[in-house]
RNA sequence: GGCGGUGUAGCUCAGUCGGUUAGAGCGGCGGCUUCAUAAGCCGUAGGUCGGCAGUUCGAGUCUGCCCACCGCUACCA
């Protein structure tokens, strides 16, 4: 086992149902986790739910239930959906988990003892929706612009994490570690946030119990609970056994967070400062992606244009949906989702190209080679070209995945499919089989061996992206358990491991073409 | 107002250190083919590279200004 990979999604606030944004982040991390596992790295994939705070307490009050009961139900909805979609997470953490509570309290006490926390009085206008105080300039017409609800005047004494003391260090760290936050555009934004005139101050990390009881109690003042972000971010440590779990050091040294751009500030500023105060190395990397717009508009409750991943799964198959999400968004930028674009992509890439290549290859293997992987003859220049293309593709997919260029990786895979389709066209085994000229069988055998072997490579390369599809192809190639022993990228780059004589089966179309009524 | 981003073929986008005829996919059109999911292959489609000016032997690719959209941020109200 070489290398390690620890990847996280945000923990999702449990007052909403999973939509395309949550799903995208999780698809990204799932794909990477699967790849790194296939690469033989020690891999841990963490996702979960964020359950404390006023919104949950409010809902509980309205329903006459306990906050815990509300959180249980919402969290269950998330975790069940994630399981149904087949995500390969290693733990679904909840901020109400006992070990998390303990870790948060340990850390609070630790940095309190280190003098990193102040007690201050603060007065201001507060939005329950945002769970934060507003300054005059933040509000629009006396209301919170995001939640369109009146602000409440509050005067509170609270505990503050002396975050600003760490800014100088953080600026230096970001400047000396170019890959700490990527893509670059977000790195620049963070540096902007940290400029002296940005107004970013110390971080309030508590709420008095008189206002809110639903949270983790401060160990040094039982009249207070911990503010949500401080609580939530620490899940990334709890999830892998901080402080002395057996894998903690290894995994933390290989930690990568994946977030949407809306929560850049807590992850790029609060969190590194917290880690610095705790005395831990910063996470290895923060990966920030853009938003999916739907039908050219922002996703919003009022528009009702949320995309439910379960509906997409039932309608198109989740592998196809995953493929679209990863293929049509350049990581970091915003993209547009529409069912029309989804169908176009599925038909072009999956039905017409990949799926059809599987069909024609295995059909001919059945008709012209008795259904078994044929014994190839001496490879010629054409065969060598296909083998070279496969090896090149394996290396490129590896590189692109490691730099979060999923769309590029899938382009490369699609390019390999094109290469094999062109190869078949050039070899035209169906012609040879019909004419039955001298030596036709050897020619056809070599051709179909090459094509079958290319399918084997394609299956491996596609496995992290489409975890349901890859095993289906491998099963038809007669090697259903291949993934269990696969090491990427080498096993995809090494030509010729498909054994002649292996029985194949044609099967139904993997991606039936979707006909749209017009 | 400041900072940053984006603006390239009908659509989605590539275009590294400036260099000969500006590229890909999808769609459209023409042809070939029939093993395959009416799939595949080949060939095409002639876009003032947002606008103007400048630097240069030469700019999509650098500079300035302007326009449009987006993000962050500031201030005024």
- The integer distance in angstroms from the CA atom of A232 to the C1' atom of B6 is 34
> Residue with CA nearest B6 C1'?
A333
Q: What is the reported pTM?
A: 0.93
- The integer distance in angstroms from the CA atom of A354 to the C1' atom of B10 is 27
The answer to whether the C-beta of A340 is closer than 7 A to strand B is no
- The integer distance in angstroms from the CA atom of A320 to the C1' atom of B60 is 35
Q: What is the largest CA-CA distance in chain A?
A: 94
Tens of each residue's pLDDT in chain A, 518 residues: 579 999 999 999 887 788 888 999 999 999 999 999 999 999 999 999 999 988 889 899 999 999 999 999 999 999 999 999 999 999 999 999 999 999 999 999 999 999 999 998 877 666 666 555 655 555 555 555 555 556 666 677 889 999 989 998 998 898 888 889 888 788 888 888 887 666 778 888 998 998 889 999 999 999 999 987 899 999 999 999 999 999 999 999 999 999 998 899 999 999 999 999 999 999 999 999 888 888 766 666 555 667 899 999 999 999 999 999 999 988 888 888 888 889 999 999 999 999 999 999 999 999 999 999 999 999 999 999 999 999 999 999 999 999 888 998 999 999 999 999 999 999 999 999 988 888 899 999 999 999 999 999 999 999 999 999 999 999 999 999 999 999 999 999 999 999 999 999 999 999 999 987 54
ipTM summary value: 0.89
- The integer distance in angstroms from the CA atom of A268 to the C1' atom of B6 is 24
Q: Does domain A339-493 have CATH number 1.10.730.10?
A: yes
* A360 CA: nearest nucleotide by C1': B36
Catalytically active residues of A, by annotation: 19, 22, 127, 130, 144, 147, 298, 301
CATH hierarchy code of domain A4-306: 3.40.50.620
> In which residue are the tokens 């612009």 written?
A145
The answer to whether the C-beta of A418 is closer than 7 A to strand B is yes
Edge-to-edge order in the sheet of strand A91-94: A91-94, A42-50, A4-13, A255-260, A285-289, A181-182
Q: Where in chain A is the domain with CATH 1.10.730.10?
A: 339-493
Is A148 in contact with A157 (CB distance < 8 Å)? no
Please state the φ and ψ torsions of residue A380, each to the nearest 5 degrees: -95, -165
Sign, Cα dihedral of A16, A17, A22, A24:
negative
Retrieve residue A379's tokens: 């490879």
* A141 CA: nearest nucleotide by C1': B77
Q: List bases, strand B, within 7 Å of protein CB.
A: 2-5, 12-14, 25-27, 33-42, 70-77
Query: Residue A422: enclosing H or E segment and its boundaries?
Result: helix A406-427
Is A427 in contact with A353 (CB distance < 8 Å)? no
Burial class (CB in 10 A: 0-12, 13-18, 19+), A471: middle
The answer to whether the C-beta of A130 is closer than 7 A to strand B is no
Beta bridge partners of A8: A46, A257
Q: Where in chain A is the domain with CATH 3.40.50.620?
A: 4-306
């Amino acid at each position: 086992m070489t290398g390690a990979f620890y990847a996280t999604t945000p923990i999702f606030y449990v007052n909403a149902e999973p939509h395309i944004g949550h799903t995208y982040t999780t698809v990204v991390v799932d794909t990477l986790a699967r790849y790194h596992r296939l690469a033989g790295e020690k891999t841990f994939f963490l996702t979960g739910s964020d359950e404390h705070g006023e919104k949950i307490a409010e809902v509980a009050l309205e329903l006459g239930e306990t906050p815990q009961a509300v959180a249980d139900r919402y969290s269950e909805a998330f975790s069940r959906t994630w399981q149904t979609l087949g995500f390969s997470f290693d733990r679904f953490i909840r901020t109400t988990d006992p070990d998390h509570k303990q870790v948060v309290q340990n850390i609070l006490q630790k940095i309190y003892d280190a003098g990193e926390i102040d007690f201050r009085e603060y007065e201001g206008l507060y939005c329950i929706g945002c769970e934060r105080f507003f300054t005059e300039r933040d509000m629009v017409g006396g209301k919170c612009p995001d939640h369109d609800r009146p602000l409440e005047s509050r005067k509170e004494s609270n505990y503050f994490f002396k975050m600003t003391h760490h800014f100088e260090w953080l600026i230096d760290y970001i400047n000396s570690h170019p890959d700490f936050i990527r893509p670059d555009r977000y790195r620049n934004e963070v540096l902007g946030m940290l400029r002296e005139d940005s107004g970013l101050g110390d971080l309030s990390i508590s709420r008095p119990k008189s206002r809110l009881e639903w949270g983790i109690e401060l160990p040094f003042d039982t009249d207070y609970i911990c503010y949500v972000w401080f609580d939530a971010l620490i899940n990334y440590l709890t999830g892998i056994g901080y402080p002395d779990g057996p894998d903690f050091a290894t995994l933390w040294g290989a930690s990568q967070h994946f977030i949407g751009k809306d929560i850049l500030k807590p992850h790029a500023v609060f969190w590194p400062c917290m880690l610095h105060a705790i005395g831990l190395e910063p996470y290895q990397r923060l990966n920030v992606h853009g938003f999916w717009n739907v039908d050219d508009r922002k996703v919003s409750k009022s528009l009702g244009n949320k995309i439910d991943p379960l509906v997409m799964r039932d309608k198109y198959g989740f592998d196809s949906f995953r493929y679209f999400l990863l293929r049509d968004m350049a990581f970091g930028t915003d993209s547009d989702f529409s069912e029309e674009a989804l169908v176009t992509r599925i038909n072009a890439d999956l039905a017409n190209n990949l799926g059809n290549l599987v069909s024609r290859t295995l059909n001919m293997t059945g008709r012209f080679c008795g259904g078994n992987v044929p014994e190839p003859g001496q490879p010629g220049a054409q065969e060598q070209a296909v083998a070279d293309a496969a090896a090149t593709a394996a290396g490129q997919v590896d590189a692109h995945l490691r730099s979060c260029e999923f769309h590029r990786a899938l382009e490369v895979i699609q390019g390999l499919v094109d290469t094999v389709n062109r190869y078949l066209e050039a070899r035209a085994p169906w012609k040879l089989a019909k004419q039955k000229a001298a030596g036709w069988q050897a020619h056809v055998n070599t051709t179909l061996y090459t094509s079958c072997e290319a399918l084997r490579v394609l299956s491996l390369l596609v496995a992290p992206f489409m975890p349901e599809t890859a095993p289906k192809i491998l099963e038809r190639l007669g090697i259903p358990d291949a993934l269990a022993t696969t090491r990427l990228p080498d096993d995809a780059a090494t030509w010729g491991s498909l054994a002649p004589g292996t029985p194949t089966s044609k099967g139904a179309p993997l991606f039936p073409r979707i006909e749209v009524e017009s």
